[in-house]
Amino acid sequence: MEDIRIKSKADYQAAYQESVDHPEQFWAKIADTFDWKKPYDKVLEWEFETPDIKWFQGGQINMAENCLDRYLETQPDKTAILWEPNDPNDDNIAWSYKELHHRVCKFANVLKANGIEKGDRVCIYMPMVPHLAVALLACTRIGAIHSVVFAGFSAQSLADRINDSSCKIVLTTDGSFRGNKEIDIKGIVDEGVSKTSSVEKVIVLKRTEKFINMKEGRDVWWDDEMEKVDANCPAEPMDAEDPLFILYTSGSTGKPKGVVHTTAGYMVSTYYTFLNVFQYEDEDVYWCTADIGWITGHSYIVYGPLLAGATTLMFEGIPTWPDAGRFWAIVDKYQVNQLYTAPTAIRSLMANGLEPVARYSLNSLKVIGSVGEPINEEAWKWYHTYIGKGKCPLVDTWWQTENGSILISPIPHVTDIRPMYATNPLPGVQPIILDKDGNEITEPHEEGLLCMKFPWPSIVRTLYGDHDRMRNTYFSTFKGYYFSGDAAKRDNKGRYRIIGRVDDVINVSGHRLGTAELEDAINEHPWVVESAVVGFPHDIKGQGIYAYIITERDIDSQQAFKDEINETVRKEIGPIAKPDIIQVVPGLPKTRSGKIMRRILRKIAEGDISTLGDTSTLLNPDIVDDIVEEATTVN
Ligand code: PRX
């Protein structure tokens, strides 16, 4: 394993060069550290036109087996999953590799006993309990394709995702705890499933022990089912390119899309990047604060760490409960060595001052990481100075749901770190910055569009049921390149800085939301004629949601109407999507061809009306003044 770890600048340069000159040889070396059920014949075949990307063809392998069985002889008693409950006074959990293996095998048999076969889609709607990791691994053990839906999404969003991939079963809990709130998870599942026709069974884990309705013939208890099965469950041989999971994410148009990741490539990338970006050592305790409902949780709470035989910590609660020192209490309690979190969490904790930090030593930390959105300078410095004590390298990792694994990131003690820069591509990653006409930008400090020239093993393979959309979204803007949707620039040492999305995607507290999907939700309200949503800079969330709404009638109570809009969005998408600012407008600025001029709306939302540009060519130029006039009173 040692020779795939990067420990010096020379290692990085050698690995990077090899990955460009001989990509097949480079990735094969990593793949060969796994247990294969059948060796692969060909490392890579690809083209970005269709697109058609295949890694490790002919090979057969199983994800769960490589996460668990592989470690049964060497480290059966090492803790695989540590779990910190929402309430710090409740018992925590530590499951060894042996125990996790046992539970995964049993639950895999539960899935089989409930009619799940290889290739079936399993929807998982669960809070952050360790059984959620068991659920993922049990699916991959038998070749079922999991589709995890973040348990903060609404019943409608859950139903849309279940329907899109015809899930046969839903795994859930009776309820969940988040801070001082208790959430009726099963109620949301009942409502969601009532809008679907493919779901045959719902398996319910007890968490809150509140009374819930169990639907006869459909709903069964997790624990009862576990009693009925044994722990003998051979891992299914999966073709390298068999789908591993689907994860829905928002785009600039239409409904969320089902990003499909396949088996071997995803394994190779998550394993390699986990080891190198976090410099995990054998006895370390690693903690990623994400939710498993997002790609960060899939790749860097469950799969990457377990493939590497690590101890991975899961936290059920929130950073600010019982107080704003909770993260730091957890770091000290488990002597966490690597902490991976999001700028939005940092900013909200920073707003609570230094007192909650000063209560803890944080001396165990060796590496601190950031992901999900650009980290502003103030948050970077606070995190580095007060959490990393100025001694821990801060890895600002850039990647996306579609990428499966980190693509651009510093490597601790190797890369020259620069605040707010994701810095260098990891080996195997070949970025390029293009201008809008597709010409390469080589000049330092010049902003352009971030693309990739060459596939890495965990690149998205398709969007579930819609390969045309896959091509149109990522591979048609620039022929022959994967287009990320982000703007970026490089400094004179070639280090990358990610600026943010250039499309109609808003990043709210690290959650990706499409303006089209937000507008569709708002338009569900019967009084709404038309709406336009844009992002604006927000101190804690990174970006906030600003909604301009045209109503069918005069609104008597603006506040009551806004509350109703919030409620509509909560029902359609979930609480994370509620607008921060709602402005009722008489019209929206449009081009002569009827397109909404979002650029103008964005400027108004940002409070930057001095540079609105020429509005005289608009279909309705007067509307801009009307909106500006009202906007100043909104802000
Ligand atoms: O805009 C980029 C931003 O998050 C987007 C991807 O979101 P998602 O698919 O939800 O995945 C988030 C976690 C991997 C990107 O297009 N983003 C992610 N990481 C960074 C970032 N922006 C700046 N710096 C980052 N480190």
Which has the closest alpha carbon to 244: 391, 97, 66, 453? Answer: 66
Confidence of residue 253 (pLDDT cuts 50, 70, 90): confident
- Whether 573 shows a pLDDT value over 60: the answer reads yes
Give the closest residue (by CA) to ligand 1 atom 13: 372
Q: How far is the CA of 404 from the centre of ligand 1 (A)?
A: 11
Angle at 566 between CA 561 and CA 572, to 5 degrees: 125
Mean pLDDT of 131-135: 99
Q: How far is the CA of 76 from the centre of ligand 1 (A)?
A: 35
Residue 555's pLDDT is what?
86
pTM: 0.97
Separation of alpha carbons 95 and 231, rounded Å: 16
Q: How many residues does the chain have?
A: 635
Q: How far is the CA of 143 from the centre of ligand 1 (A)?
A: 29
What the block records as the tokens of 135 is 């659920």
Give the closest residue (by CA) to ligand 1 atom 3: 373
Percentage with pLDDT > 90 across the chain: 94
**Ligand 1 atom at shortest distance from the alpha carbon of 370:** 26
**Ligand 1 atom at shortest distance from the alpha carbon of 498:** 23
Residue 235's pLDDT is what?
98
Mean pLDDT of 258-263: 98
| pLDDT (tens digit per residue) in 276-310 | 999 999 999 999 999 999 999 999 999 999 999 99
Q: How far is the CA of 266 from the centre of ligand 1 (A)?
A: 18
Q: How far is the CA of 367 from the centre of ligand 1 (A)?
A: 20
Task: Tell me the residue type at 223.
Answer: D
Confidence of residue 254 (pLDDT cuts 50, 70, 90): confident
Residue 609's pLDDT is what?
87
ipTM above 0.90, yes or no: yes
Residue 615's pLDDT is what?
85
- Look up residue 24 and give its DSSP letter: H
Among 148, 370, 395, 400, which residue has the most ligand 1 atoms within 8 Å of its CB, making it the best to mutate?
A: 400
Residue 553's pLDDT is what?
85
Give the closest residue (by CA) to ligand 1 atom 6: 400
Among 347, 408, 429, 512, which residue has the most ligand 1 atoms within 8 Å of its CB, making it the best to mutate?
A: 512
Q: How far is the CA of 219 from the centre of ligand 1 (A)?
A: 37
Among 486, 509, 513, 517, which residue has the most ligand 1 atoms within 8 Å of its CB, making it the best to mutate?
A: 486
Q: Are 289 and 340 in contact (CB under 8 A)?
A: yes
Lowest mean pLDDT among 212-221, 268-277, 451-460, 556-565: 556-565
| pLDDT (tens digit per residue) in 199-225 | 999 999 999 999 999 999 999 999 999
**Ligand 1 atom at shortest distance from the alpha carbon of 294:** 10
Q: How far is the CA of 302 from the centre of ligand 1 (A)?
A: 19
Give the closest residue (by CA) to ligand 1 atom 21: 373
- CB contact burial 489-513 (16+ within 10 A = b; e otherwise): bbeeeebbbbebbbbbbbbbbbbbb
- Whether 1 shows a pLDDT value over 80: the answer reads no
Mean pLDDT of 76-92: 98
Residue 634's pLDDT is what?
55
Kind plus residue range of the DSSP H or E element containing 497: strand 496-501
Separation of alpha carbons 466 and 372, rounded Å: 26
**Ligand 1 atom at shortest distance from the alpha carbon of 512:** 10
DSSP string, 315-373: E-S-TTSS-TTHHHHHHHHHT-SEEEE-HHHHHHHHTT-SHHHHT---TT--EEEEESS
| pLDDT (tens digit per residue) in 385-409 | 999 999 999 999 999 999 999 999 9
Residue 633's pLDDT is what?
57
| pLDDT (tens digit per residue) in 9-45 | 999 999 999 999 999 999 999 999 999 999 999 999 9
| pLDDT (tens digit per residue) in 358-376 | 999 999 999 999 999 999 9
Q: How far is the CA of 398 from the centre of ligand 1 (A)?
A: 6
Q: How far is the CA of 233 from the centre of ligand 1 (A)?
A: 37
Give the closest residue (by CA) to ligand 1 atom 24: 374
Which has the closest alpha carbon to 548: 481, 612, 624, 478? Answer: 624
Residue 503's pLDDT is what?
92
DSSP string, 578-605: --SEEEE-S---B-TTS-B-HHHHHHHH
Mean pLDDT of 333-357: 97
Which three-class secondary structure state does DSSP give residue 271?
helix
Give residue ranges with CB within 6 A of ligand 1. 249, 295-296, 371-374, 396-401, 422, 484-486, 498, 500-501, 507, 512
Residue 631's pLDDT is what?
86
